[in-house]
Amino acid sequence: MEHDKGKIKTLKNNLVLLAEDHRNNQYVLSKMLEPAGVRSVTASNGMEAVEVIKSNKSVSVALLDLKMPLMDGYQAMKEIRKIRPDIVIIAQTAYALQGDREKIIEAGFDDYLAKPITLDDLKSVINKYLPGE
């Protein structure tokens, strides 16, 4: 993956959805994005993530934790695809086992990030999948 150490090139009018059941991780990710000028909205489970997508047309990237209560990341991804097929959906997983990437991409995610996610990781996926403005 190409690394762009500079600023995130887009997203001024877009939102990143951070879906994660651990509040600490949610907080860390949103605080990471803030200085880069990227606004985010959070969800604590898959059902909440789907609701956010339904009610918020500005979301262009969704980071979904795979293991969440009520609805897991796989199911949430499928529901989000039905509502907004154009959203970039990235899985976030603590289980970076060999073969997982294939399984995750095959399921329908655009990509995946292994935890702990760094600002460089975030910049890379955002700059890779979203066209500049």
Query: Interface with Mg ion by CB under 5 A: which residues?
Result: 21, 65, 67
Closer by beta carbon to Mg ion, 67 or else 78: 67
Of the two residues 4 and 21, which places its CB atom closer to Mg ion in the complex?
21
**Shortest distance (Å) from residue 69 CB to Mg ion:** 8
- Distance in Å, CB of 100 to Mg ion, minimum: 15
In 1-133, beta strands by DSSP E: 15-19, 39-43, 59-65, 88-93, 111-114
Query: Nearest to Mg ion by Cβ — which residue?
Result: 67
Asked if residues 16 and 40 have their Cβ atoms less than 8 Å apart, the reply is: yes
Q: What is the bridge-based pairing of β-strands 39-43 and 59-65?
A: unpaired
Q: Which is nearer to Mg ion, 11 or 41 (CB)?
A: 41
Collapse the DSSP code of 103 into the 3-class scheme (helix H, G, I; strand E, B; otherwise coil) and give the result. Answer: helix
Looking at the Cβ atoms of 65 and 79, the one nearer to Mg ion is: 65
Name the minimum Å distance from CB 84 to Mg ion: 22
Residue 43 Cβ vs Mg ion, minimum distance, rounded to whole Å: 12
Residue 90 phi/psi, 5-degree rounding, is: -110, 130
Task: Look at phi and psi of residue 112 and say left if phi exceeds 0, alpha if psi is from -120 to 50, else beta.
Answer: beta
